A and B are shown apart, each in its own frame.
Chain A
């Protein structure tokens, strides 16, 4: 055990003797290295780099990668390895800052490029777009203050990535054997995941093996079943994603995650084949394509409805507990003993965000009234809170967050509020999406902080200080890329450029559909009723979990469910404590390994590497 480099000043994370201190007084003073300039600078620099790289790759390949695990590993290497003075909680803070700066990219790239695709770029008021996104990011952080206690202390959601990051940070104290298990998990994950991505870069992958049914990223088990002459309905897709991350997340979630698998099976193995057999799916859609059709037209809208209905009733049920948590926060705050940001910060953030959203809506709504702008700002602010809680809950329960579905729903609501004014709708939608991604990310980091003993007050304070940076960085990348694409290809984004912005292109199609009146509102409503009913069952998060699983592609839910089953089997065979003690580090390694290699491959692809 290394002796501390310094241990002089008293810790101010708790109350000093005498009169209550201001809540800011203890943030920077601590005898245990936690809030340091090294951690902040490292976090901001890594966050900016990751944000720019992931924004670029996200516009190119269509999905983003979470930065927490990478930031934790890098933070560990730099603060503890190179600078020789990083502590566990300091690295947690550095990783928190980095992921806060990084995480807003999915909110921006799923929405803002739509305006370019629709040819509305000249009408964007960039200043207000940036201001709205920054306000969204700040509010996303602030909204977490009253819900941290609910989700982490009371609901004790697992947040698989947050737990995995904590495993990485705690590894020096867990003993050599557990560190080896963690490293083994990382290694196994990287080897398994490597061949899913290597085709484009090295010219070979799993598909090169020439095994029927095996593609670079998936294994089609239905193909094997049919090849063996066993009965199988052709509309039932039984494809497994080669995703060690999903396996690890399922393992960490354990038994509660089985509901996710069950929902996926309901969508893929019950609704789809029956809808096909009963002729609900148009005859021209073949059996092989039936799964995709049913997902897009039935299961996904129904899943979004279930998710929202389940979350809404779950939230109503949680109000008494949230009230109790707020009461204890107020009491602690009055005594000067609070370990959270005070509620006044939340109220101030809500006020500022409302004003910014109001001004932004007012500036972009050419023919709108002040009342309409105020309504948009009010609903936008309330929706940020609700949608942020939904996303944080999904992430906490499964590690998946339905950002694209929420973006669609958000833009739909904003279109209704703005009277189909696309620019305002997308701008407010972008602010909301940035806000909810911040919520989910921050909750992951706070979970990590809880597990390593970090101070929520310090984490929240620093997140509040740096949250605005992220939207600025990714919007800058979006605009630079747009200009570059215009110079090179004659178009800003989309087909024919190196940045097809697939998620935004999908949203563009959805916006046209919504404006044309084809949004599946009836399915949202029916799903909402079912989700609400399920939340009355008393099984925590049932409506949300079933909804999420009907929304996600089954190929990722299968390895996730396998992870849950492996955890349950091990817990039965070796005991729950043994499984927690030895299984979780390995599962954490699986999550971290894929995340690390995913970023490396994304960078290689962005730099133009390819066979």
Chain B
């Protein structure tokens, strides 16, 4: 009974604790709509509607993401809202002067003018590469797909709809075919984009770019400063706020619940061991005695057995007393305590390994080895039995 309750308490404690911990990562916080509180810079977390009369279409007060300016606050207070959820942090990114950006991470990718990356022929065409090229104003790039000799095809980067080649167009249709039926038409963006196995057919140069989330160390900041940038967008990181973690009491309660479960569990275990007459322990002790007898008998007769007979003699020991002891290890640990358990199950495992070796040697036909290992297993089992507490 106690054990059942303690298990349920453990489950409840873990669920409550995990949920409460997850709550510390929630993306909003509550603010009071008090005129004395400065709410400038706050952003509504979700769309807010107000239903004046049941059954009527609700009235939109403000869209999620809207700034919590005076108008929105007035609307909310007029609709009897006393507090509201705002984004936390209000913005994912903020713009800071370059001098203050060290140690932050870039909120968006930044193209570094004047410095280029060489993208060599054979480089795999990815969506990111297409985006970079488009941002750099590149109209088309030469590409080829897989092993196909399609290196004269030019892939269009513009989002324009495909146009038929015009008569007299100086550009080779093979290069510039905008007809979707043409094999040279390779859309790289939009719904028809297919970048599979596409590689650059010629080396191109694109402006260097600092990736989104790049850490801004002194070297990178110097690079940005050389571009003449005075400000940069960096991600906003919200440090852990104990007071803002509204689920903290639930978390502490969960610790209490788990603690209670542990106390109950330990109590029920002591009870089981003392009042239950130590049934599992007695059964395990019996199994160990049986193992010692059987292994001693095997050791005595081993020298007369051939490999096949040894193999056949070891199998029942494995699947009999030894198997029961291995299956009952948790009960043994509860009954004997950690140290007592180690003193019994340590030599037991060594004996088991010897027996396993005897089995393997018998299967491989190494009869002398099998006999010797069978003989050497028995004393380990006897040692385990002698380590079993007498009372």
B354 & A518 in contact (Cβ 8 Å cutoff): no
| B373 contact set on A, CB distance < 8 A | 453
**Shortest CB distance B7–A (Å):** 9
A453 & B354 in contact (Cβ 8 Å cutoff): yes
| B124 contact set on A, CB distance < 8 A | 489, 495-498
**Shortest CB distance B132–A (Å):** 10
Q: Label chain B's interface by main secondary structure.
A: helix
A450 & B311 in contact (Cβ 8 Å cutoff): no
Please report the C-alpha to C-alpha distance between residue A491 and residue B211 in the assembled complex, in whole angstroms. Answer: 15
The reply on A270 being an interface residue by CB < 8 A is yes
The reply on A339 being an interface residue by CB < 8 A is yes
| B169 contact set on A, CB distance < 8 A | none
Q: A88-B364, A283-B46, A516-B105 are in contact. Are A496 and B126 (CB under 8 A)?
A: yes
B15, B103, B323, B342: which contacts A515 (Cβ < 8 A)? B103
Q: A297-B25, A498-B124 are in contact. Are A533 and B258 (CB under 8 A)?
A: yes
The reply on B141 being an interface residue by CB < 8 A is no
Segment touching A, from B16-24, B34-42, B155-163: B16-24
The reply on A315 being an interface residue by CB < 8 A is no
Interface positions, chain B 304-323, Cβ under 8 Å from A, are 307-308, 311, 319, 323
Interface positions, chain A 280-309, Cβ under 8 Å from B, are 280-283, 294, 297-299, 302
Please report the C-alpha to C-alpha distance between residue A88 and residue B21 in the assembled complex, in whole angstroms. Answer: 50
B338 & A320 in contact (Cβ 8 Å cutoff): yes
**Shortest CB distance A309–B (Å):** 11
The reply on B237 being an interface residue by CB < 8 A is yes
The reply on A215 being an interface residue by CB < 8 A is no
CB-nearest residue of chain A to B377 = A453
The reply on B4 being an interface residue by CB < 8 A is no
Please report the C-alpha to C-alpha distance between residue A259 and residue B217 in the assembled complex, in whole angstroms. Answer: 44
Interface string of A513-538 (1 = CB under 8 A from B): 10111101111001101100110111
CB-nearest residue of chain B to A294 = B22
| B87 contact set on A, CB distance < 8 A | 282
The reply on A334 being an interface residue by CB < 8 A is no
A298 & B22 in contact (Cβ 8 Å cutoff): yes
CB-nearest residue of chain B to A517 = B237
B369 & A32 in contact (Cβ 8 Å cutoff): yes
**Shortest CB distance A257–B (Å):** 15
Residue picked from B27, B203, B254, most chain A C-beta under 10 Å:
B27
B122 & A328 in contact (Cβ 8 Å cutoff): no
CB-nearest residue of chain B to A89 = B360
The reply on A2 being an interface residue by CB < 8 A is yes
Please report the C-alpha to C-alpha distance between residue A89 and residue B361 in the assembled complex, in whole angstroms. Answer: 8
**Shortest CB distance B259–A (Å):** 7
The reply on B61 being an interface residue by CB < 8 A is no
The reply on A24 being an interface residue by CB < 8 A is no
CB-nearest residue of chain A to B85 = A279
| A576 contact set on B, CB distance < 8 A | 327
A87 & B360 in contact (Cβ 8 Å cutoff): yes
Interface string of B236-258 (1 = CB under 8 A from A): 01011000000000010011001
A453 & B353 in contact (Cβ 8 Å cutoff): yes
The reply on B8 being an interface residue by CB < 8 A is no
Interface positions, chain B 116-169, Cβ under 8 Å from A, are 117-120, 122-126, 128-129
The reply on B64 being an interface residue by CB < 8 A is yes
CB-nearest residue of chain B to A263 = B14
Residue picked from B330, B360, B372, most chain A C-beta under 10 Å:
B360
Please report the C-alpha to C-alpha distance between residue A31 and residue B357 in the assembled complex, in whole angstroms. Answer: 13
**Shortest CB distance B329–A (Å):** 6
The reply on B359 being an interface residue by CB < 8 A is yes
Please report the C-alpha to C-alpha distance between residue A273 and residue B262 in the assembled complex, in whole angstroms. Answer: 29
Residue picked from B129, B215, B368, most chain A C-beta under 10 Å:
B215
Please report the C-alpha to C-alpha distance between residue A187 and residue B357 in the assembled complex, in whole angstroms. Answer: 29
| A339 contact set on B, CB distance < 8 A | 350, 353
**Shortest CB distance A477–B (Å):** 20
CB-nearest residue of chain A to B348 = A153
CB-nearest residue of chain A to B28 = A279
B24, B213, B308: which contacts A509 (Cβ < 8 A)? B213
The reply on B207 being an interface residue by CB < 8 A is no
A4, A512, A533, A546: which contacts B366 (Cβ < 8 A)? A4
CB-nearest residue of chain B to A85 = B364
The reply on A223 being an interface residue by CB < 8 A is no
B338 & A317 in contact (Cβ 8 Å cutoff): yes
The reply on B356 being an interface residue by CB < 8 A is yes
**Shortest CB distance A16–B (Å):** 13
The reply on B186 being an interface residue by CB < 8 A is no
Q: A496-B124, A496-B126, A533-B259 are in contact. Are A152 and B366 (CB under 8 A)?
A: no
A453 & B18 in contact (Cβ 8 Å cutoff): no
B64 & A283 in contact (Cβ 8 Å cutoff): yes
B27, B217, B251: which contacts A526 (Cβ < 8 A)? B251
A537 & B21 in contact (Cβ 8 Å cutoff): no
A530 & B14 in contact (Cβ 8 Å cutoff): yes
Interface positions, chain A 444-488, Cβ under 8 Å from B, are 450-455, 488
Interface positions, chain A 1-42, Cβ under 8 Å from B, are 1-4, 7, 11, 14, 31-33
The reply on B286 being an interface residue by CB < 8 A is no
A4 & B364 in contact (Cβ 8 Å cutoff): yes
The reply on A416 being an interface residue by CB < 8 A is no
The reply on A170 being an interface residue by CB < 8 A is yes
B27, B261, B346: which contacts A325 (Cβ < 8 A)? B346
The reply on B326 being an interface residue by CB < 8 A is yes
B45 & A283 in contact (Cβ 8 Å cutoff): yes
Please report the C-alpha to C-alpha distance between residue A523 and residue B22 in the assembled complex, in whole angstroms. Answer: 8
| A455 contact set on B, CB distance < 8 A | 357
The reply on A126 being an interface residue by CB < 8 A is no
The reply on B365 being an interface residue by CB < 8 A is yes
Please report the C-alpha to C-alpha distance between residue A275 and residue B247 in the assembled complex, in whole angstroms. Answer: 12
Interface string of B369-384 (1 = CB under 8 A from A): 1001100100000000
A516 & B323 in contact (Cβ 8 Å cutoff): no
B259, B341, B356, B362: which contacts A321 (Cβ < 8 A)? B341
The reply on A413 being an interface residue by CB < 8 A is no
| B214 contact set on A, CB distance < 8 A | 512
The reply on A540 being an interface residue by CB < 8 A is yes
| B269 contact set on A, CB distance < 8 A | 538
A453 & B123 in contact (Cβ 8 Å cutoff): no
The reply on B189 being an interface residue by CB < 8 A is no
Please report the C-alpha to C-alpha distance between residue A577 and residue B117 in the assembled complex, in whole angstroms. Answer: 65
B19 & A270 in contact (Cβ 8 Å cutoff): yes
The reply on B104 being an interface residue by CB < 8 A is yes
The reply on B285 being an interface residue by CB < 8 A is no
Please report the C-alpha to C-alpha distance between residue A490 and residue B203 in the assembled complex, in whole angstroms. Answer: 9
Please report the C-alpha to C-alpha distance between residue A325 and residue B21 in the assembled complex, in whole angstroms. Answer: 38
| B366 contact set on A, CB distance < 8 A | 4, 7, 31-33, 87
Interface string of B62-86 (1 = CB under 8 A from A): 0010000000000000000000010
B126 & A302 in contact (Cβ 8 Å cutoff): no
The reply on B349 being an interface residue by CB < 8 A is yes
Please report the C-alpha to C-alpha distance between residue A490 and residue B123 in the assembled complex, in whole angstroms. Answer: 8
| B369 contact set on A, CB distance < 8 A | 7, 11, 31-32
The reply on A604 being an interface residue by CB < 8 A is no
Please report the C-alpha to C-alpha distance between residue A497 and residue B122 in the assembled complex, in whole angstroms. Answer: 9
| A513 contact set on B, CB distance < 8 A | 105, 213
**Shortest CB distance B331–A (Å):** 12
Listed by A's residue number, 14 A-B pairs whose Cβ atoms lie within 8 Å are A1-B307, A2-B364, A152-B349, A270-B15, A271-B22, A282-B27, A283-B64, A453-B361, A489-B123, A526-B24, A533-B17, A534-B258, A537-B262, A581-B319
CB-CB nearest 8 A-B residue pairs: A453-B357, A173-B363, A153-B349, A453-B356, A280-B26, A516-B105, A490-B120, A526-B21
